Structure 1
Amino acid sequence: MHINAIDMLALYRKYRPAKFSELIGQDTIRDTLLSEVANKMIAHAYLFIGPRGTGKTSTARILAAAVNCERPKGGEPCGACSRCGAIRAGRYLDLIEIDAASQTGVDNVRENIIESARFIPQAGPYKIYILDEAHMLSASAWNALLKTLEEPPPGVIFVFATTESRKIPDTILSRCQQFRFRPVEHEVLKKRLVSIARAESIKVDEEVFDEVALRAGGYVRDAESLLGQLFSLGGKFVTWKDAQGILERSSLMSVSAFLKTLLKGNVENAFQQLNELQEEGVDVPRFTLDLLEALRAMHYRAITGDNHPLYIRRHGKAGIAMIGEMLKFQHDPIVLRKALGIIIDQMDKSREAPSDLVLEIIAGDLAHHFSASSGSRGNSDDSEDRTPPSVPSIPLTAQKDGNQAKNNPTPAIKAKETEAKAEPILEISADESAESKLESKKHNPVGITLGKVKELWETVIEKVHKKNHALPFVLKFAEPLEVQANQVRLGCKYQFHHDRLINKDNRLIVEQALSEVLGSPTVIKIEFVKAPVTLPNPEDAAFDKMVNLFGGKVVEG
């Protein structure tokens, strides 16, 4: 079916907000700017940060109207005066919009901004420069603009809009008032779509609004464009059946079905689903990110018990229900974290490969991973009910000889002897004296070495997980450094992890798990190590990539 692109564009342009009160989902930004304009405390430079379609340039235009309006009220533009009308129509002389992506060079900046800014505003009190995709400017262009930002001409306001603030120099960031735009919550976006349909006198099935809002993922422009496509079908009533031809299956529904197959470890069905999705024309890179986002939400909920706020905003109640359903198949944070690493690693290694091939590799790896996890620890639903293995009653070295373990039961050392010696508690065979054992091992429990502790560290983490779902994540960033007597010294590179582990309750859980795995009562000593620590788990590199991908950072103490 051919869709008229002009009609699609017309809808979101027609309902583009012209006042602060018409902005949706950005309440804090709206209230702050209203207050600044009303109190005449306007900054000379603003930086609007956020994903596409969340209202950055629309807000910049509203700000331009508010500061130039002939009859403003409480910081709000009237929308009726000649200046407001000219700004809305895109013909206001003192509103200069520049696409930084196509004018990145220093010469463009000098000609279009620096030289022009010297002249006083002609049509109103303020001249406003809006630079969209500001992160695309070259370093030399930013350097040329820096002087103007340091000493701005009177009556000039700069508004920089960007999706990638990390690419903007710190010298620029420090001179701008920054606002972060976020994806709009599902219910708020749905309400917006309902109001547009009502204004257009078109009846739409309730589930169509839900589906459009879900597919848009919190991005207003995407939602309004999709609704415009549906309106282009003609008629005054859009049914769910009519909409399916354009919407097909939602990303949430597709991800849910696909993820469930992967969690069951069914590679064959997963590949069959991929073929069907590609025949439907699914956006493969977007679908891969949606899969990553769903696993991220599962991981977050498995650790905290709460729903990821960003996922709630994008997918609403349907997204929460989907994550809850997926967690019935797998709720182990360690398993889910490794799954995130698999996707991120493959995306990083296969940048030049076809996106459908990358997704096939990811699907195969994830299905194998979940299948192996289920096989090694049993179904996640049953894993919580399994009784942890008891502490071995023989030293680790003695376990190598199965017959010796059977024929020689190992009585515990008497309490008085243990107190008198003030040494680690050891359980030894009847024909072997505790004295000689302690002497031969130089006050170290039998068979417990640093290498052995590192080898069994993942097992320790798994045991800890049964009692505390959040603690294993912290232990991934702790490295066994030394074993002395019955004490294992752990090093933490980051202050946050150090502080969590020195907590009395957390330390007790770790010591109990360590004692069970090593077969001997063991205590831990936590140290903050400022020098880089080489962690035993190679997937930590994947974690770093995950942090970068989602725009986060690890803060050292």
Structure 2
Amino acid sequence: MAAQSLYRKWRSQTFAELVGQEHVVQTLRNAIAEDRVGHAYLFTGPRGVGKTTMARLLAKAVNCLHPDRSARPCGVCELCVAIAEGRAVDVIEMDAASHTSVEDAREIIERVQFRPSVARMKVYIIDETHMLSTAAFNALLKTLEEPPDHALFILATTEVHKVPATILSRCQRFTFVRHSVAAMAAHLRRIAAAEGITLAEGVPEAIARAATGSMRDALGILEQLASFVEGPITLQQVQSLLGMTAAAEIDALVTALLSADVTAALRAVYAVVQQGADVRQFTRDLVERLRAVMLLKATNDRTLLDVGDDEVAQLSRWAAQADMATLVHWMKLFSQLDAQLRTTPYGQLPLEVAVVEALLTPVPAAQSTVPPSFVTRANPQPVRPPVTREAGIAVSAASTPEVHSPAKSTLPPENLEPPHGSVSSLADSPSLESAIPPAESTSLSAVPLAADPPPPLPAAWAASRQARSPADPTVARAADADMSVLEQVEATWEEIKRDVRPRSPTVQALLNSARPYDVEGNTIVLLVTSSFHKQRLEEPKNRSIIEEVLRRRLGKPYAVRCTIEEKSVEPTDLRSKIREARKDEFVRAALNIFDAHIVDIEPLEPE
């Protein structure tokens, strides 16, 4: 005869024996003591958290023979024992996964009309309720709404979103939560002691973490270990059997990340692989550990952490050392690896790339936008227009005709400059064209902004402008066009990487550590995190894949070059200045409105 499984053998027989779900236990106990038990209940929650066990306890409680209602179920009376052994004819358990049809529902409806044979109430426990067909649900509606006085329905499901709202509204709903690591570890110790199983220090916690809140899974793992191991069960045996990673490797990797030690971080990943552990599970454990550090740093509340007391000290040290933005960046980075590690043919490569990227790529941060002073230049002709220079950025557009102001002939040219920070170009306007006649060689900057002429320029600014030679508009136009292509590549970078994946998953993984950085004519420059990525991406076969995807995206061929040296943040040459200027939201608005391009950048007015 087959031995009984631990989770069946140690199924709770009374409310006092039940582990966790205190909110459900207290509510049902009060209902039983006050004789206010409902006619239909719905138990929802993940697998292995006690839904079916609670349903059987409720079936016992409504039929228990103990005279004290508050002590029900007693677990020792005749009916309690019969229900526990599964031989009570008035407690019917039905698996909806194998009884999905409307005929099964009709059979319940027909039988529920008959009074119970022995017990006080007839109880129907329908497990995996979401598997019932729509017709079966509809057939049960009336019976669930107004069942006979002697009938009680208990529905259990792991996927409550699949249960129709008409069913939900007719039931009292209880949501079951996952068990905590501490509660599961304590329960495992009690069962192991009763079964004569010796557990080394840390084994119950390791089993509880592997079970992810499911008590049934935890007891199944314990039973498997008891069959696998002779003598005391050690932590190493648990890790070997379940493919788990030792906490030492996770701690080593977190410490290396916080210390920005790439070598130590990659060695930790290598050690995990050498153990034959599941890299996906290791990555999940790493994300969970980083989450614990984030919660402790953000709240300093230990009650939010589902960890043992021995781990809190280490987490506190990490929290003091870590930066919140960096922690969030790392969690986003590593939490996205699960699907890649499941499908990649390259083993631990995605994790190694992510580790290097986490340490060598700067944390994304919001860039503050300081609107500079700029002017626009209007010219409807396709030929290069003359450029009016103002404080800030000169923008040449092809959208509106130039206008002329009579004030230009009476005021010196120096006094026609607008004050610092003003915009001297106006959009195309019919009323403006009719009010001000056009002239051959004039500028919108010649239109006075007020009746009185603006004040003269400061002497220092005027001197600096006279000493400065104007930029070559051809060079500026080329730089502006390059930056426009760069913005297009940046905006579609994620889509470009997705297009690369069908051609080569390896190249896509390498591109996760690269980003568009510059455009030089017909060459797109990628900024990578290390010389390793630069060498691999510039291999002819890999580079040709990227260039083909870019050609399809941009409509013309572009070469690809990689660099690991980021330029100075402070722009010095014209290309860098144009690149920084295009990041400003006001400049982008002007470029879009006037279909313009930047032709020069001039120094701001000194304070």
TM over 0.5: yes
Name 1:424's counterpart in structure 2.
none
Give how far 1:23 is off: 0.7
Q: In the alignment, is residue 367 of structure 1 matched against residue 355 of structure 2?
A: yes
Residue 39 (structure 1) shift: 1.0
Amino acid in the other structure paired with 2:91 = L
The whole-number CA distance in structure 2 between the counterparts of 1:65 and 1:95 is 9
1:3-46 CA-to-partner distances (Å, cap 9, x unmatched) read xx966x53222211000000112111111111111111111111
CA distance in 1, matches of 2:132, 2:233: 44
Structure 2 residue 181 is the aligned partner of structure 1 residue 183: no
* Counterpart for residue 170 of structure 1: 165
Q: Is the Cα–Cα contact under 8 Å of residues 65 and 79 in structure 2 kept in the other structure?
A: yes
Letter in structure 1 aligned against 2:170? R
2:513 alignment counterpart = none
Residue 120 of structure 2 contacts residue 150 of structure 2 at CA under 8 Å; is this kept in 1?
A: yes
Partner of 1:85: 81
Identity of aligned residues (%): 35
Partner of 1:141: 136
| Aligned counterparts of 2:23 and 2:244: Cα–Cα separation in 1 | 34
| Alignment correspondent of 2:102 | 106
Corresponding residue to 2:424 among 431, 434, 440? 440
Structure 1 letter corresponding to 2:351: A
The Cα of 1:88 is off from its aligned counterpart by 0.9
Instruction: Compute the displacement of 1:329 (Å).
Output: 7.3
- Which structure shows the higher helix fraction? 1
Preserved CA contact (<8 Å) 2:40 2:152? yes
How far did residue 307 of structure 1 move?
6.1
Contact 2:252 2:268 in 1 (8 A): no
Once residues 288 and 244 of structure 1 are traced to their aligned partners in structure 2, the CA distance between those partners, rounded to angstroms, is 15
CA distance in 2, matches of 1:235, 1:268: 35
After TM superposition, the structure 1 stretch with the greater mean CA deviation from structure 2, 149-158 or 247-256, is: 247-256
Query: By how many angstroms is 1:323 displaced?
Result: 5.4
- Counterparts of 1:389 and 1:148, CA distance in 2: 62
Whether the aligned pair in 2 keeps the contact of 1:203 and 1:236 (CA below 8 Å) is yes
Deviation at 1:199, TM superposition (A): 2.5
Pairs aligned (count): 400
Post-superposition shift, 1:231? 3.5
Q: TM-score, normalised on structure 2? A: 0.54
Residues of 1 paired with 2:292 and 2:28: CA distance? Answer: 33
Q: Given the alignment, which residue of 271, 275, 279 partners 2:273?
A: 275
8 Å CA contact 2:94–2:124 kept in 1: the answer is yes
Q: Are the structure 2 counterparts of residues 372 and 134 from structure 1 closer, same or farther at C-alpha, using a change threshold of 3 Å?
A: farther
Distance of aligned partners of 1:24 and 1:368 in 2 relative to their CA distance in 1, 3 Å threshold = same
Q: Distance in 1 between matches of 2:104 and 2:109?
A: 9
How much has 1:239 moved relative to structure 2?
A: 5.2
State which of 336, 351, 354 in structure 1 corresponds to 2:328: 336
- Mapped to 1, the partners of 2:317 and 2:127 lie a distance apart of 41
Counterpart for residue 555 of structure 1? none
Q: Tell me the residue number matched to 1:157.
A: 152
Question: In structure 2, do the counterparts of structure 1 residues 99 and 148 end up closer, same or farther at CA, with 3 Å as the change threshold?
Answer: same
Unaligned runs of 5+ residues in structure 1 are 378-387, 399-407, 410-429, 443-451, 456-516, 523-557
Do 1:46 and 1:176's aligned partners in 2 also have CA atoms closer than 8 Å?
yes
Q: CA RMSD in A?
A: 4.8
Aligned residue for 2:93, secondary structure, equals: strand
User: Which deviates the most, 61-70 or 119-128?
Assistant: 119-128
Query: Is the Cα contact below 8 Å between 1:47 and 1:159 reproduced in 2?
Result: yes
Q: Read off the aligned partner of 1:94 and give its amino acid letter.
A: D
SS for the counterpart of 1:12 is: helix
What do the CA deviations read for 1:429-457 (whole angstroms, capped 9, x no partner)?
x9986548536268xxxxxxxxx9xx9xx
Which sits farther off after the overlay, 136-145 or 121-130? Answer: 136-145
Per-residue CA deviation, residues 392-429 of structure 1 (Å, 9 max, x unaligned), is 7974789xxxxxxxxx99xxxxxxxxxxxxxxxxxxxx
Deviation at 1:294, TM superposition (A): 4.5
Matches within 5 A, 1:517-556: none
Deviation at 1:372, TM superposition (A): 4.5
In 2 relative to 1, CA 345–89 (structure 1 residues): closer, same or farther, beyond 3 Å? same
Which structure: larger Rg? 2
1:193 is matched with which residue: 164, 188, 193? 188
Distance 1:142 1:438, change over 3 A: same
Letter in 1 for 2:332: L
Return the TM-score normalized by structure 1: 0.59
CA distance in 2, matches of 1:224, 1:6: 17
Counterpart amino acid of residue 187 in structure 1: A
CA contact (8 A) 1:131 1:159 kept: yes
**C-alpha distance in 2 between matches for 1:158 and 1:337:** 48
Q: Secondary structure at the match of 2:20?
A: coil
Deviation at 1:65, TM superposition (A): 0.7
Aligned to 2:221: 226
Match of 2:530 in 1: none
**Structure 2: which amino acid aligns with 1:363?**
L
Query: Taking structure 1 as reference, are residues 254 and 143 closer, same or farther at Cα in structure 2, changes over 3 Å only?
Result: farther
